[in-house]
Structure 1
Amino acid sequence: MNAQELLKRLESLGITLDAMIDAALELYIGEEEEAVREKLQKLMLHYLNDINAQALLMAALLLEDAFKVEGDPVNLVADELIGINIAEYIGGKMALFNFFYYDTRKPGILAELPPFLDDAIGGFIAGCMTKVFEGEL
């Protein structure tokens, strides 16, 4: 699987690269937003090609198909675990703080997604934003 194939699957659910970037930047406080947007897009495309990030995102997609969950029940923790693992895989332990920031505020598209995907995409965004601030890639 490559980034384009995964993006097509996500786009079929309304999750575009631009929507993920917009959600990430909705909580961004700082200058040079265009430069951050460009770095973030490169990072996201890089990690959408990474087999481990792909596997975790695909797991969330498959779980959404397999379990039709109403709302986001408090006893459901598997969604949080996927989001945490994606965030930490990409951005290390610092990304965990960003994950909880995005998870509680649910900016942009995150507010519209079902439980497994909002946490998986939130973790993806959090990990990539952490890398942006570390100056990676």
Structure 2
Amino acid sequence: MIGELIGRATRRAVREGLKDCGITPSRSLEERLEERGISFDDLLDTAEEAFVFHPDSSSEEGTVDLLREELKKWMKDVNVGSLVIGGLHLNEVGDQGNLPELPAKDFESDPVHLISDEILGMRIANYINGEKGVFEFERVDRSKPGILKELGPFTDDVVGGLIAGACSRVYER
């Protein structure tokens, strides 16, 4: 009984402390990524680096505007946000060595038998733009442009899925 009371009091105190620091449960995906050192500009720069410009498309500046628009749109989608937040959490769990049968030192190397990170990235890209999004995810995941090469196993794939989905939508436009 005393343990349960201590647990409740601790949770309440942590929630209040987080609120005092400006961290609330309702914060946006953009804010959650920023907390992990990933700015919107990082996402846009990475999308721009990943994007394959076609000579018949709009100007490079116009294309960047389209990329910005697509990223902003999809970052506000509850399903994309849920999948990205899930990947961010799994990355934290893996960093702590708390994924079943995968010690932290092995997790850091992004072992080939860990495929759930790729599945999350592909599902995000697929949700945003179907098979075209998945095709683009495969290309982006192999090349690891921009900030992707600096991120952990789950984070690089969920962010890569978002970027790939946005890029493939711009290709269609």
TM-score normalised per structure 1: 0.91
Q: For 1:64-91, what per-residue CA distance to the aligned partner results, in whole angstroms no more than 9, with x for missing partners?
A: 1212221211110000000000000001
Query: Partners in 1 of 2:34 and 2:172 — Cα distance?
Result: 28
Residue 145 of structure 2 corresponds to: 107
Alignment partner for residue 136 of structure 2, among 84, 90, 98?
Answer: 98
Q: For 1:19-57, what per-residue CA distance to the aligned partner results, in whole angstroms no more than 9, with x for missing partners?
A: 111111113332511111111111111111111101100
Residue 52 of structure 1 corresponds to: 79
Q: CA RMSD in A?
A: 1.5
Q: Which runs of 4+ in 1 moved over 3 A?
A: none
Residue 67 of structure 1 corresponds to: 94
Query: Partners in 2 of 1:100 and 1:81 — Cα distance?
Result: 11
Residue 39 of structure 2 corresponds to: 16
Query: Partners in 1 of 2:65 and 2:28 — Cα distance?
Result: 21
Query: Partners in 1 of 2:133 and 2:139 — Cα distance?
Result: 10
- 1:27–1:48 Cα change, 3 Å: closer
SS in 1 for 2:28: helix
Ranked by relative contact order (alpha carbons within 8 Å, sequence separation 6 or more), the top structure is 1
1:116-127 alignment to 2 at 5 Å? 116-127=154-165
**Rg (Cα) greater in structure:** 2
Aligned letter for 1:85? R
TM-score normalised per structure 2: 0.73
Residue 114 of structure 2 corresponds to: 76
Aligned letter for 1:126? A
Equivalenced residues, count = 134
Query: Partners in 2 of 1:27 and 1:44 — Cα distance?
Result: 13
Percent identical: 39
1:36 aligns with 2:71: no
Structure 2 unaligned runs (5+)? 1-24, 96-106
Q: For 1:2-26, what per-residue CA distance to the aligned partner results, in whole angstroms no more than 9, with x for missing partners?
A: 7x62111101212111111111111
